Amino acid sequence: MRQVLIPILALFILIPSSLAAKIYIDITSPALRQLPIAIQDFKGHPSGKEISEIVRADLEYTGLFSFIDEEAYLESPEEPFHPENWKPLGIEIVVKGTVVMGELLFATISLYDAIEVKGILKKRYSAKKDLLRTLSHEISKTIYEKVTGQKGIFTTKIAFVSKDRDRKAIYIMDWDGHRIRRILGIRKDALIMTPHWSSDGGKLVYSSERNRKWGVYMINFSNMREYLAYSSEGTNLTGDFTPDGNYLTLSSSKQGSPDIYLLHIKTKVLSRLTYSSGIEISPSVSPEGNEIVFFFDRAGTPQLYMMNIDGNNPRRITYDGSYNTSPDWSPSGNRIVFCGRIGKKMQLFTIRSDGTDLVQLTYDGNNEAPSFSPDGRFIAFTSDREGTKGIFIMRTNGEGQQRVSPKNLRVFGPAWSPR
């Protein structure tokens, strides 16, 4: 009995002291929307400076970090981390690194928390000498993940179509426009349309007209071979994969007017989703795989519509503008980016998936073919604002618009890879 009583009594005596009246103050928005971070030049080898510059540029582009002029740093890269050197500058995170160049490129980075005064992470990387950019992006990825808890886009890629002097080709580049590689080239008079990634990033699907016949083709990156996934009379334009990777959405005019179909990739069974006499194209599947947003010209002015994955419950979601097309769903599923006509120019907009909260993102030139980044924070698109059509990227609020593809390359339809 006593043994039970004593703790109970103790509890009752202790409780009141913790119940003293306390005032609660609400702070609803941080004054700083960017995390103050310092990335010091990596020491040990001249390439260290280059790597730290890439990392800095990567993080800066996200718009989530703020940097102060290195001139203001109180601590040189050679000195050990000391929080008192950073606190007065308001810096919360400090990154130091060492690079050693031998047979391979070795980099060691350390991440410090200047407020809690502790090391967060120490990581060692090694790579072939020519993979300096890849290594840098890996470092950016690690820092971003450690500091924000989210996966960044630094190791993602963008696929696009371009026309060389002699032929049409599909290219893949790093998200920042570096390391462009041609993965497929076909005859100049053939056509290739916007590619789409499978959700695991292992396949790329695109429509192509060869020998006056439209087919849906697929590249499998595991063996770098191209397959014909579907072909029929009329125009066949592919849309997205479903998230499970089993189906492909596509529009085909084999029954007269273009309609939307669902193709089972393995069995090649085609199920028809729309039956109207109007034009229904550009299907984009929601991240949950339960809805499709598509282009439909029923209302006189072409608009975006939404339907269930089985074709039921079609409903209009855009009402503004006269020509809304090329929808792409954000990875979180709450917004859709699309291309709409304002005056004589095409501009990009986002809208909630229920059709509310329309936001215009671009204003210069013609901007088309938007594609969300896998973290939903960025959009890749084409624009002719600087003359030849190039690939641009921006944040989803329209900030930070910049060209990433080379100026001499005329490009179409970017598709941002999954992670």
Partner 1 sequence: MRNRSLQKTTAISLFIHTLFFMLILFTAKRQSHFTMPSAYTVNLVSIKKSLSAKKDSTIVRKALIPPKKTETKKKAKPIPAKKVKQMTTRDKTASAKVTKSLQKERTVLIEERISAIKAKKRIQRITHLRSIIDLRKKADEDEEIIIHKEQGTNALDTSEQAAVSDRTDGTIMDAYYGTIHNHIRQHWAFPDLGEENLMAIVSFKINRDGNIESIKLEESSGNAFFDRSTLNAISKAIPLPRPPFEMEVGIRFSP
Kindly tell me which residue out of 25, 71, 343, 387 binds partner 1, with binding defined by CB under 8 A.
Answer: 25
Nearest to 243 by CA among 194, 196, 283, 287: 287
Q: How many CA atoms lie within 13 A of 211 on its CB side?
A: 4
| CB 109, CB 54: distance < 8 Å | no
- In the complex, minimum distance from the CB of residue 90 to partner 1, in angstroms, rounded to a whole number: 7
- In the complex, minimum distance from the CB of residue 46 to partner 1, in angstroms, rounded to a whole number: 32
Which stretch in 20-28, 129-137, 251-259, 286-294 sits in contact with partner 1 by CB under 8 A? 20-28
Angle at 215 between CA 213 and CA 218, to 5 degrees: 150
Question: Taking CB under 8 A as the rule, does residue 224 contact partner 1?
Answer: no
Question: Taking CB under 8 A as the rule, does residue 195 contact partner 1?
Answer: no
Which stretch in 30-38, 131-139, 302-310, 351-359 sits in contact with partner 1 by CB under 8 A? 30-38
**Pairwise CA distance, residues 385 & 338, whole Å:** 18
DSSP bridge partners of 238? 250
Question: Taking CB under 8 A as the rule, does residue 30 contact partner 1?
Answer: yes
* Residues of this chain, 114-133, that bind partner 1 according to CB under 8 A: 115-116
405: enclosing H helix or E strand: none
- The contacts of residue 10 (CB under 8 Å, 6+ apart) are none
**Pairwise CA distance, residues 157 & 86, whole Å:** 35
Which stretch in 21-29, 49-57, 195-203, 229-237 sits in contact with partner 1 by CB under 8 A? 21-29
Question: Taking CB under 8 A as the rule, does residue 399 contact partner 1?
Answer: no
Kindly tell me which residue out of 5, 103, 256, 399 binds partner 1, with binding defined by CB under 8 A.
Answer: 5
Question: Taking CB under 8 A as the rule, does residue 16 contact partner 1?
Answer: yes
> What CA–CA distances, in Å, run from 287 to 128, 197, 204, 266, 393?
36, 13, 17, 21, 21
**Phi, psi (degrees; rounded to nearest 5) at 5:** -65, -45
Give start and end residues of each alpha helix (H) in 62-154.
Answer: 132-148
Number of residues that bind partner 1 (CB under 8 A): 42
The tokens for 154 are: 């630094």
Question: Taking CB under 8 A as the rule, does residue 356 contact partner 1?
Answer: no
| CB 272, CB 283: distance < 8 Å | no
Kindly tell me which residue out of 137, 157, 196, 377 binds partner 1, with binding defined by CB under 8 A.
Answer: 377
Hey, how many other C-beta atoms are within 10 angstroms of the C-beta on 67? 14
Kindly tell me which residue out of 3, 33, 189, 256 binds partner 1, with binding defined by CB under 8 A.
Answer: 33
x/- letters, 330..349, toward partner 1 (CB under 8 A): --x-----------------
| CB 414, CB 381: distance < 8 Å | yes
- In the complex, minimum distance from the CB of residue 144 to partner 1, in angstroms, rounded to a whole number: 11
Which stretch in 40-48, 61-69, 124-132, 386-394 sits in contact with partner 1 by CB under 8 A? 61-69
Q: Give 90 or 245: the residue with its C-beta nearer to partner 1.
A: 90
Question: Taking CB under 8 A as the rule, does residue 223 contact partner 1?
Answer: no
Question: Taking CB under 8 A as the rule, does residue 15 contact partner 1?
Answer: yes
> Hey, which bits of 102-197 come out as E strands?
105-113, 118-127, 157-163, 167-174, 181-187, 191-192, 196-197
- In the complex, minimum distance from the CB of residue 375 to partner 1, in angstroms, rounded to a whole number: 9
Kindly tell me which residue out of 19, 166, 189, 256 binds partner 1, with binding defined by CB under 8 A.
Answer: 19
**Pairwise CA distance, residues 83 & 235, whole Å:** 64
Kindly tell me which residue out of 32, 80, 212, 312 binds partner 1, with binding defined by CB under 8 A.
Answer: 32
- In the complex, minimum distance from the CB of residue 299 to partner 1, in angstroms, rounded to a whole number: 32
**Pairwise CA distance, residues 315 & 313, whole Å:** 6
Question: Taking CB under 8 A as the rule, does residue 29 contact partner 1?
Answer: yes
Q: Give 218 or 394: the residue with its C-beta nearer to partner 1.
A: 394
- Footprint on this chain of partner 1 (rule: CB under 8 A): 1, 5, 8-9, 12-13, 15-17, 19-36, 63-65, 87, 90, 92, 115-116, 147-150, 332, 376-377
